[in-house]
Every structure is written in C-alpha cells, then in structure tokens.
Amino acid sequence: MTVGGALSRMIRSSADRRTGDAEERCDLCGAPIAADHRHLYDTSREEALCACRACSVLFVEDGAGDGHYRLVPQRRVRLAAVETGPLGVPVGLAFFVPRTDGSVSAHYPSPAGATRWEVDAGAWQETVTKCPELAGVEPEVEALLVNTARSLRQHWIVPLDDCFRLVALVRREWRGLSGGGRFWPAVEQFFAELTERP
C-alpha cells in the first residue's frame, strides 16, 4: 500500500489549515471539499484519495467504479488488549492492514513516513482467533491500530485514513533523535480524540 500521495496531502492540508491557505479539492473531479470529507481507496494504485460526496456516490454507492475505488469506512471500534507480540511489532505504535488476498501488511509511523513489513499469516490468524472482532476488519480500507508506547494499551479498529493522519502527525511533530517535547503529547491527543463510531 502506498501512503505517499494521501500522506503528503494530509501533511499539506494540516499546514494549510494552520495558515488559512488553499482549500482542499476532490482527487477525482477537482471540486472543493469540506474538511470532514470522505476518502476512496484506489485498488490499482493502492492509494487513498480525497473524495467529494458526488464522487463517493458515483464511484461506490452506484457501482460505477467496478470495484476500482472502495469507500473508506468511518467506523471505529475500541478493542480490549490485543496481544501483538507474535505479529512482529518492533515498536509500540503500529497499524495492520489485511488485504483481499489474505495477506496482512504492518506499518509503523516514523519521521520518514511509514515503514512496512509483511505479517506472518499464521500469527495473524492466531491473533484473529484470540480477538474475533478482527475477522470483521474490511480488507484494504480498515486497520488494527495499536498504541502500546509509554505504558499505554490502546487497540482500535479504525478506517485507513485515521492511520494516514497518524503517520502525518508523526512526520509533522517529530524533532531530533527522540521526538522532542511536542511529539508524545500530540500522539496522546490523537488517541484521546478517537471516538467509537458504528
């Protein structure tokens, strides 16, 4: 999965909101879009795209996209603690994205972007067996988001665009070798603002 295009737009959007600059536009038709717009997942380019309401209806709800674009869901589900050690998580902040072919990619945000690796299929299945809610994660467009850094234990099923927002936040706030004084408070605020949505 490519986070580059969507990630760079989210970083740019965040900077624009602070300075009051350029309005966001739909990646499909170029129409202006609201700050709380939806996203489409482009299955051929493996990229998230900003979408206006009309394009999300045209390409997804009416089936005109023939599966090429998938609407990123909005649901968020807070989970009880999930044992992620067997998944090979080297850090306390990561997200896991199942794919339609049954594989699972893991990503952890860093100052340079998201680092990616493939999760062992058997380890993922064992994790799903222990946490049955994970069986309902929609491939490509939802993720298991994990924050076990600094003694926290937060596990969520979230839309993929939440993960991109977190990657953008890490890139924007990280300073020096350890993150600096603003980094961890910003991460804690990100998780504090996550709310469950059906």
Could you report the per-residue pLDDT of 24-74, keeping only the tens digit for each? 999 999 999 999 899 999 988 888 999 999 998 887 654 555 678 889 999
- The pLDDT of residue 16 is above 60: no
Neighbours of 136 (CB within 10 A): 11
Q: Which residue has the higher pLDDT, 123 or 60?
A: 123
Give CA–CA dist 198/195, Å, rounded.
10
Cα atoms found within 13 Å of the Cα of residue 190, Cβ hemisphere only? 23
pLDDT of residue 12: 46
pLDDT at 78 over 50: yes
- Does 90 or 186 have the greater pLDDT score? 186
Among 11, 27, 37, CA closest to 69: 27
Tokens 């170029």 belong to which residue? 30
pLDDT at 61: 56
Residue 81 CB burial class (10 angstroms; 0-12, 13-18, ≥19): exposed
- Say which residues have a Cβ less than 8 Å from residue 177's Cβ, sequence separation at least 6: none
Asked if the model's pLDDT at residue 191 lies above 60, the reply is yes
Please give the order of strands across the beta sheet that includes 38-42.
47-51, 38-42, 69-71
